[in-house]
Structure 1
Amino acid sequence: MSIQDKKAKLRKLVLEQLRQQSQLARKKKSEIIMSRLREAPSFSSSRAFMFYVATEIEVDTLPLVKEVLQRGCCVAVPVVQRMTGSIDAVQIRNPDKDLIPGTYGIREPRLDRRHRFDVSRLGLVLVPGLAFDRAGHRLGRGEGYYDRFLKSLLPHVKRIGLAFDFQLFDSIPFAKDDETVNRVITNA
């Protein structure tokens, strides 16, 4: 079986598990993950963050986005540029007012509130994924948006993957172009 076939099989398995998880379980597990993230040295030392805005099946980051903004830190979120296959980091100041449904139904900053963020200022990027392994390999949805974005970051920028316990594996299939994270935080 090819790496692409193995990835497709794992994506299908994990998506099924994510969809079967109740919203209450997602909320409780997300709270545990956010609590563990707060304890990470790279979190407490950062003043500029890039958070992903979760879909209804991913680890919910929004409560922590609001908390970090209240602390006076800078927060950027990704905006998918389908035409170029890239991600732009766009600063937000109030997620309740700034975010509307965008590409793939994921909330993104409103067009009139898009202020590109200088990614060299980032200290920490929180990375979504369908699966991760203990070595930091990440399995996304297969479009390569995050791999290209992560490749563009300066070496000092920390990358933390957020996942539910069933999304972390001893090893997952990966290709040479797949970017890794420095750490994965789960609820387990």
Structure 2
Amino acid sequence: MLTKDKLRKYHLDKRSKITFEKINKWSKKICDKFLSLDELNNVQKIMSYISMRKEVNTYPLLESLIEKGFKVYAPYTIKKEGTLGAAQIDDLDLDLQDGVFGVQEPKRELRNKAVPDDLDIIIVPGAVYTKDGYRIGYGGGYYDKFLAEHGQNALKVAFCYDYFIIDDFPVEDHDIAVDLIITENQIIKI
């Protein structure tokens, strides 16, 4: 079995070769599936990653969620602690700035509050997933640490292209599975 590092590198390289036309088409299908979830009927607070490079594009989804009146939170990196914070955003154009690792993050002035302990849904990024909901992220462990601390009561959702769901990889004690994986072709409930 390949190591997580080799799997990460292989799949990120594969993902980098997908055309933006496909990314946009698949992202729309994934986000539409998310918006059709029954679970959205009973939630208020949704945290989502801010997409970069060839990840599933979350920008249109976040704009839609804000327009529909959800409280939307975005992560920011707390590098010295090796984890994430979360701040509410109301406007993607005004509330985000360049952050750590080239990711868009909430502006510093929005980060003055503790992470809400009642996040309803957390949408997490990843390079590759198993059908059991385990993920290989980008290697920093930021999301696993965040989910261990703040995700116990939240529905953990992954957005992933079908191609990046694989049968198996080494799972470690600190790895936290998601509850739902949404791809362009299916919804996998764990």
**Given that residues 96 and 106 in structure 2 are in contact (C-alpha distance below 8 angstroms), is that contact kept between their aligned partners in structure 1?**
yes
CA distance in 1, matches of 2:46, 2:29: 19
Q: Does 1:109 align with 2:106?
A: yes
Corresponding residue of 2:188: none
User: 1:154 Cα shift?
Assistant: 5.0
Q: Secondary structure at the match of 1:119?
A: coil
TM-score for both structures, normalised by structure 2 = 0.92
Corresponding residue of 1:21: 18
Unmatched segments (≥5 aa) in structure 2: 186-190
CA distance in 2, matches of 1:74, 1:117: 15
Corresponding residue of 2:44: 47
Q: 1:61-93: CA deviations, max 9, x gaps?
A: 111111111111101100001111110011111
TM-score for both structures, normalised by structure 1 = 0.93
Identity among equivalent pairs (%): 29
Summarize the Cα distance change of 1:44–1:135 in structure 2 as closer, same or farther, 3 Å threshold.
same
Aligned equivalent of 2:174, options 174, 177, 184: 177
Q: Secondary structure at the match of 1:160?
A: strand
Q: Superposition RMSD on alpha carbons, in Å?
A: 1.5
Unmatched segments (≥5 aa) in structure 1: none
Q: 1:74-127: CA deviations, max 9, x gaps?
A: 011000011111100111111111111110000011223334354222110001
- Residue type at the aligned position of 1:9: K
**Given that residues 91 and 116 in structure 1 are in contact (C-alpha distance below 8 angstroms), is that contact kept between their aligned partners in structure 2?**
no
Q: Secondary structure at the match of 2:184?
A: coil
Q: Give the count of matched residue pairs.
A: 185
Q: Secondary structure at the match of 1:8?
A: helix
CA distance in 2, matches of 1:117, 1:93: 17
